Structure 1
Amino acid sequence: MPKSLVSGGTGYVGRFIVDALIARGHEVTVLSRREPRADLFIAPIHFMTGELDPGRDQSHAFQGMDLFVHAAFDHLPGLYRGGEGDDPASFRTRNVDGSKALFDAARKAGVGRAVFLSSRAVYGTQPPGARLSEETRPHPDTLYGEAKHAVERHLREIGSTEAFAGTSLRVTGVYGPAGRGKPDDKWTPIIRDWLDGRAVEPRAGSEVHGADVAGAVLAILDAPASAVAGQIFNVSDVMVDRTDMLAIVQQATGHSTPLPQPADSSRINVMETDRIEALGWRPGGVKRLRDTVLDLVDKLEPARSR
């Protein structure tokens, strides 16, 4: 049975990855600051206390592991861009130096594969409407994007061999249900505002379901190490306008609240995903988007009627 360590496995995206690895037959250990509730995942996991601290020896966590997925990121609650608050130096130390230390420990312990959850924020400001491939030159314009880019570069430097194959996934905005006992997902508050007649600001952007992010991790594992070592892959799926998302809600509920005006999506930079699709990755597309929104409505409406 393969053994996998997932940092940040209790987080919004990490939970999907843990469940996917369990379903694949992996024995999963979650590295996190706090032990998760017992029913957060689809089956029991092992737990180790850990954090993004470059001065802390966490080598014991990697002993006997075949895979390390680094999904942890230390930031102010609810913020990624701007998540450093008024302490950018500590933010950089934790998320850059702390991440580098974990990858170094993984390689030293003999872990064969490592996957880093990076971000489309690495691309930063690009020409309006330009498509983003993995060859697009990064221009991170936030500390969040800079931190992700710095860790990508380190993993490429140390993880470009078949003995330690390191891969970075540049992930766009992630949607999907929140885990048990977790706060609202990103869309339920918007749906609730619209149902209650409050104004919803027009907005559009690229999205990918958390389960499809997990599917990207599995696609990397299924590929030969030589094909993914030191490589970067975009992970994105559908362009979502809040107007279109709320139109699904309107159709399901029959609410007559006017929809917000569509956002201007002509300037959005769409991420090309041909590279990871060549590994067999297939996201859920519009169907998964619609099914997810309908599930959120089903969960929200009984709570509103109580």
Structure 2
Amino acid sequence: MSRHVLISGATGFVGRFIAEHFLARGDRVTAMGRTPPVPGFFSAPVVFVEGGLDPARDFSSVFAGVDAFVHAAFDHVAGKYRGGEGDDAAGFRRRNLDGSVALFQAAKTAGVARVVFLSTRAVYGTQAAGAMLQEDMVPQPDTLYGAVKLLGEQALAKLSDEALCGASLRVTGVYGPAGHGRAHKWQTLFDDYLAGRPVASRVATEVHGADVAAAVALMLDAPADAVCGQVFNVSDLVVDHRDLLGRVRALMGVERPLPERADAAALNVMATERLRSLGWRPGGADALDAFVRAVVRGLLAR
């Protein structure tokens, strides 16, 4: 059965993956954002509605006829999430918390059955070095970004009932191909390495954008009692710059030195058993290899 899915932030990096997933399923997609997508940005036609994160706005007309709402929009200083408030912490909180809650309430008033909120691993904040991040542990956000996302999760859970089923996804770093004319997350890293510029050691958790989209779809398809009012970690791989660039070096046939391996002992890896119990199966190393190969093909074709 096809749905009418409204996606805020659909033209963003992660939002595009979500929109494409639902388009591929044959769902009707409406993209909400501040500016319309350029022609050809999506693989199939979508309806665009203008809408920012304004808690004073009446969103009732936006939600008319919508079956599910995916809230992927976030207003921040370009290129920053942590520290994305810049010098306007009050405005950042008003837009991203009050604006999000206004959207959740408008969706419920309009009779939208399911709402999915894209949250972040930043809600966990400072945890013991090396501790596994479990959804039921006490969050300790150490940034305004993480604190605002946590409050958004809590607001959606409070609104969830028999009429509206809301779920939040705590997403780690996301990689994958960017939209036309845009840079993927590791483009500067790859360019620096291939140009012989210094590259810092780093290790982090990552997930492909297509796997985030699959997790979103599960929140709409799963039985209500399995997801309503719940939070789910979304993470797949531990990726070290040394291993990532080692793939690039092998495929490009270059002999430039690799950065030192980062110390992963203190890394907080995210447990994903709760999401996997619903049938979520991320792409793992195969997805990462396919992405790097596609990037390298593009570099070699220049």
Q: Which interval holds the TM-score relative to the shorter structure?
A: over 0.9
- Matched with 1:268 is 267
1:74 equivalent in alignment to 2:75: yes
- Matched with 2:177 is 177
The 3-state SS of whatever aligns with 2:62 is helix
- Matched with 1:192 is 191
Figure out how many residues of one structure are paired with residues of the other and give that number. 301
The 3-state SS of whatever aligns with 1:62 is coil
Contact 1:38–1:44 (8 Å) recurs in 2: no
Matches of residues 139-158 of structure 1 in structure 2 within 5 Å? Answer: 139-158=140-159
| AA matched with 2:256 | T
- Matched with 2:51 is 50
The separation in 1 between residues aligned to 2:49 and 2:285, in whole angstroms, is: 37
The 3-state SS of whatever aligns with 1:207 is strand
Greater CA deviation, 237-246 or 221-230? 221-230
TM-score, length basis structure 2:
0.98
- Matched with 2:211 is 212
Which portions of structure 1, spanning 4 or more consecutive aligned residues, are displaced by more than 6 angstroms? none
Contact 1:162–1:226 (8 Å) recurs in 2: no
- Matched with 1:89 is 90
Shift of 1:56: 1.1
Give structure 1 stretches of 5+ with no counterpart.
Answer: none
The separation in 2 between residues aligned to 1:223 and 1:162, in whole angstroms, is: 15
Greater CA deviation, 224-233 or 93-102? 224-233
Greater CA deviation, 216-225 or 266-275? 216-225
- Matched with 2:293 is 294
- Matched with 1:281 is 280
The separation in 1 between residues aligned to 2:162 and 2:204, in whole angstroms, is: 36
Shift of 1:72: 0.1
Q: Deviations over 1:240-295 (max 9, x none)?
A: 00100000001101100000001111100000000010000000001101111111
The separation in 1 between residues aligned to 2:15 and 2:123, in whole angstroms, is: 20
The separation in 1 between residues aligned to 2:26 and 2:279, in whole angstroms, is: 19
- Matched with 1:122 is 123
- Matched with 1:163 is 163
Shift of 1:45: 0.3
The separation in 2 between residues aligned to 1:10 and 1:285, in whole angstroms, is: 25
The separation in 2 between residues aligned to 1:203 and 1:86, in whole angstroms, is: 28
> Percent same amino acid at aligned positions?
55
The 3-state SS of whatever aligns with 2:96 is helix
The separation in 2 between residues aligned to 1:108 and 1:151, in whole angstroms, is: 18
Contact 1:202–1:242 (8 Å) recurs in 2: yes
- Matched with 2:60 is 59
| AA matched with 2:165 | A
Shift of 1:136: 1.2
The separation in 2 between residues aligned to 1:109 and 1:128, in whole angstroms, is: 44
TM-score, length basis structure 1:
0.97
The 3-state SS of whatever aligns with 1:154 is helix
Give structure 2 stretches of 5+ with no counterpart.
Answer: none
Shift of 1:219: 1.4
Contact 1:220–1:279 (8 Å) recurs in 2: no
| AA matched with 2:140 | H
The separation in 1 between residues aligned to 2:134 and 2:272, in whole angstroms, is: 8
The separation in 1 between residues aligned to 2:269 and 2:127, in whole angstroms, is: 11
Contact 1:74–1:91 (8 Å) recurs in 2: yes
Q: Deviations over 1:163-183 (max 9, x none)?
A: 20000000000001110132x
Shift of 1:302: 2.8
The 3-state SS of whatever aligns with 1:213 is helix
Matches of residues 184-263 of structure 1 in structure 2 within 5 Å? Answer: 184-263=183-262
The separation in 2 between residues aligned to 1:25 and 1:279, in whole angstroms, is: 22
Shift of 1:38: 2.1
